[in-house]
Amino acid sequence: MEMFLMAAVMSLLAVAVCAVLFAAATRDEHGEASRPVVQAAREPQRFFASAPAAPLRAEAAREGTEPELVPVEALLLRIEQHIRLEQAAAESFLHRPTDESLHSRTTSRLVN
């Protein structure tokens, strides 16, 4: 009886070990097979190779690794606004020269 129980336990253990090894062996295959399908579904359809550059650039700009690209017209407006604000700050300093007014901050989007 004891021999029978031992054989049964050993058989169950062997089956469990085989099941674990089988699952481990087959998990990578299923994962690699399904990954390209997921990526293909996520990528938007595009006709030009440069299409995905914009989101990448925006992401980089958010992270501060690359300056945000804005249209030249918008950039010009920002520069001109910056100059006006800086002139006003300079005039304010000349009216009342102090360290604080010399280094006062403006709301210029070019530097903030």
Can you give the binding site for other proteins, defined by CB under 8 A?
72, 75-76, 79-80, 83, 86-87, 89-91, 93-94, 102-103, 111
Smallest gap from Cβ 52 to other proteins, in A, equals 21
d(C-alpha 90, C-alpha 83), whole Å: 10
Q: How far apart are CA 60 and CA 58, in angstroms?
A: 5
Rounded Cα distance, 112 and 110, in Å = 6
**CB nearer to other proteins: pick between 14 and 75:** 75
Nearer to other proteins, 42 or 103 (CB): 103
Output 5 or 72, the one with its CB closest to other proteins: 72
Q: Which among 107, 111, 67 has a CA at the least distance from the CA of 88? A: 107
Min separation Cβ 60 and other proteins, Å? 16
